Amino acid sequence: MTTIEETLVLVKPDGVARSLTGEILRRIEAKGYALVDIRLVEADRDLLAQHYEEHQGKPFYEPLVEFMQSGPIVAIRVAGNRVIEGFRSLAGTTDPTTAAPGTIRGDLARDWGLPVQQNLVHGSDSPESAARELALWF
């Protein structure tokens, strides 16, 4: 059974600053997923507070919000069969040092020794998160 779902993908400020947006989009399209909507966003604190609400109060929260406000973000609505799971696999594990070769993070990201991991992309982790996050960004 084919179930088309949508997910939010964010190219984080480090990906935009390093001119990797095109390569990330290329990998999403090469996987066969559809780019439904794309926008360049200067995220404000309110949007990021809503996006990362489950992390409020954790030690990495403030550095994360500061990092996400440090430059433009490319927000992408991506559609496809099992796209949530598929994009997370394509992205690789959150830690770029251990992310598998062939993944976005494994090939293009690294640990810069900063207070928050700059790992190029975000992808929704469940259908519920995708619906909530897409409503915030689009």
β-partners of residue 39 are: 75
Query: Is 122 marked active-site?
Result: yes
Tokens of 57: 């109060």
φ, ψ dihedrals at 125, nearest 5°: -105, -5
Contacts (Cβ under 8 Å, ≥6 apart) of 71:
13, 16, 17
Q: How far is 60 from 75, CA to CA, in rounded Å?
A: 22
Task: Given the residues 73, 122, 123, 130, select the one marked as catalytic.
Answer: 122
Catalytic positions: 122
